[in-house]
């Protein structure tokens, strides 16, 4: 298989949490499908062939999650899946459930912290510790209080944070909901392909997935339910596609690529030990270069591929530009729509001082990342961060 970290120009790609390069076999599939016609809602042969591709992909995504295929609804991406799930109205068999409160925390993806379809007055952010872990005791107390008052909370908690890699204790979070009518939605975008997607163990009622995080095409995602009988009211209405759960003609090419990527990702969840060793070596080297390096989320369970760090006095925006000019693609803790680096809401929720948070750099490795790429990054980082700190010291003098 071709390496996924290097491009033909010799650049190094260490930003897999933002988007993984498309797998070569997925590229081949997509290339072939681009030449085919057929609306999957049509009854002719071409339409039936398109429908077959979607249903095959649905089965593959369901296999990644350990649920029946009927529990998978394809979307344009995880943002749409999250917004769909964050609905006050859910269908329960022939009845309905009306949720009155959304409980989440400030380290979630913006599509979750924005509240979905809950009104602003019904959204609450719960505290996280300095390590980025949700305060489960605070969650349990709040859920119990709301339930005692006759309210029905919907809780949203991510499996893994995209910036720090921190893993939330989903089983503990689910236990905090025991004895109540609360349900749990999980943003599992960063977890897919890196840890097992265990909806039963997590006791998650729904999860969101994204194709391009696991080597599939951009423009496809899924809302996956543990029980197809309990589902949110559709976000997009008007057509009967996706069993009336999401109107609009399906993106057949992207969905088919998503399905193939999901099947491959399901076989990879246990093979990250070597990447974890590379990540740990990277962090030791960073702290050797600058002893005041801060690694965010260190000491708690994290994704094996993710390192988020900062060095006091080294602005991320300046460093990212220099690294990019040197042929190395990494990311910052946060990027706003203007493309400028801002203070990460994730790090702010963890109580990280703004001056330090502005220096956050995220290195996220892929399965094919190797020591050569890490060594080249470290050499560049030593030079670039040294120049920035020296310039800062000169201005201070």
Q: Which residues are catalytic?
A: 336
The helix (H) or strand (E) run that includes residue 324 is: helix 316-325
Residue 21 DSSP symbol: P
Number of Cβ atoms within 10 Å of the Cβ of 394: 8
- Which residue is associated with the tokens 């959204």? 123
- Decide the pairing of beta strands 153-156 and 101-105: parallel
48's tokens: 């039936």
For helices 252-266 and 24-33, give the axis angle rounded to 10 degrees: 160
For helices 371-396 and 316-325, give the axis angle rounded to 10 degrees: 130
CA 61/CA 58 separation, integer angstroms: 5
CB hemisphere CA count around 71 (13 angstroms): 23
Q: Are 381 and 289 in contact (CB under 8 A)?
A: yes
């Amino acid at each position: 298989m071709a390496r996924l970290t290097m491009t033909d120009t010799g650049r190094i790609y260490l930003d897999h949490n933002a988007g993984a390069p498309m797998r070569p076999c997925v590229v081949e599939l997509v290339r072939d499908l681009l030449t085919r016609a057929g609306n999957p809602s049509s009854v002719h042969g071409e339409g039936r062939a398109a429908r077959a591709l979607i249903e095959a992909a649905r089965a593959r995504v369901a296999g990644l999650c350990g649920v029946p295929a009927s529990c998978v609804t394809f979307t344009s991406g995880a943002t749409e899946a999250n917004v769909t799930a964050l609905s006050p109205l859910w269908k329960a068999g022939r009845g309905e459930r009306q949720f009155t409160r959304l409980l989440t925390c400030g380290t979630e993806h913006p599509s979750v912290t924005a509240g979905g379809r809950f009104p602003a007055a019904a959204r609450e952010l719960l505290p996280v510790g300095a390590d980025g872990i949700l305060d489960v005791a605070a969650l349990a107390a709040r859920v119990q209080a709301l339930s005692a008052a006759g309210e029905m909370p919907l809780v949203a908690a991510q499996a893994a944070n995209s910036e720090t890699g921190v893993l939330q204790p989903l089983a503990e979070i689910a236990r905090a909901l025991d004895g109540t009518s609360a349900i749990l939605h999980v943003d599992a975008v960063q977890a897919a392909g890196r840890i097992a997607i265990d909806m039963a163990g997590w006791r998650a009622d729904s999860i969101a997935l994204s194709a391009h995080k696991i080597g599939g095409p951009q423009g496809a995602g899924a809302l996956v339910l543990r029980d197809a009988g309990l589902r949110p009211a559709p976000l997009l209405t008007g057509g009967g596609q996706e069993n009336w759960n999401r109107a609009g003609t399906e993106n057949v090419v992207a969905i088919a690529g998503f399905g193939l990527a999901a099947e491959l990702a399901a076989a990879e969840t246990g093979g990250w030990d070597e990447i974890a060793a590379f990540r740990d070596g990277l962090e030791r080297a960073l702290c050797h270069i600058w002893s005041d390096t801060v690694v965010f989320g260190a000491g708690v369970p994290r994704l094996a591929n993710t390192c988020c760090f900062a060095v006091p006095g080294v602005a991320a925006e300046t460093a990212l530009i220099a690294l990019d000019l040197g042929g190395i693609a990494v990311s910052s803790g946060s990027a706003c729509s203007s493309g400028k680096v801002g203070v990460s809401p994730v790090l702010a929720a963890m109580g990280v001082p703004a001056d330090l948070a502005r220096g956050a750099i995220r290195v996220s490795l892929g399965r094919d990342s190797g020591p050569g790429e890490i060594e080249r990054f470290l050499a560049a980082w030593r030079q670039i961060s040294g120049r920035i700190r020296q310039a800062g010291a000169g201005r201070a003098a």
